[in-house]
Amino acid sequence: MNLYLVQHGEAKREEEDPARRLGYAEVHPLDLGDGRLAEKEATSALEALHDSMRPDLVYAPEPVHSFYLHPDHLAAGRAALSAFQGRAEMRLYHTRRPDLRVDITAVFADKRAALKMHRSQRLLLEAGRLMTYIHPAWAGVRGKVEGFRSVPRT
């Protein structure tokens, strides 16, 4: 399994160690910016990625029903939907409307440790906000479960 990132620079470096901890063999930056993601450019890059990789399953941030309103994440989610919808199965995270719930009890400690490796997010994690990503009581889920919105390949 490979991980593709839309950001670059410090944000990209901040993602590599957590990704490796979670078992990704390779981390590929798409160098599309951090704090200023251009949606059209991101869509083009993701379409090219689809054409070369032909993924069966894509995870992306929820751009419509998100509880996490970071502009880059919303733009990345919209770009991913434009590039992959109908071409690959998608699972959207940070969603307020999950229809798929995955028990992450076995990997919960690793996910928490990976989150703690995000230096720029440490204050949010300490405040308990980042844990909502992996303990989404906001979505009516209890326990160590992640919720996703499924977008089937059509």
| Domain enclosing residue 6, as ranges | 2-151
Amino acid at 109: A
Model confidence at 138, in pLDDT bands (50, 70, 90)?
Answer: very low
pTM above 0.75, yes or no: yes
CA-CA-CA-CA torsion sign (153, 40, 36, 65):
negative
33-85 per-position pLDDT tens digit? 666 677 888 888 889 988 988 889 999 989 988 777 778 888 889 999 999 99
CA 13/CA 101 separation, integer angstroms: 30
Q: Write the CATH number for 51.
A: 3.40.50.10320
Three-state secondary structure call for residue 143: coil
Please name which of 34, 95, 84, 31 lies closest in space to residue 62, comparing C-alpha atoms.
Answer: 95
64-75 per-position pLDDT tens digit? 887 777 788 888
Q: What is the distance between the terminal CA atoms of the chain, rounded to a whole angstrom?
A: 23
List Cα–Cα distances, 117 to 19, 83, 113, 130, in angstroms.
Answer: 10, 30, 7, 12
How many domains is the chain partitioned into structurally? 1
Express as a percent the part of the chain with pLDDT over 70: 73
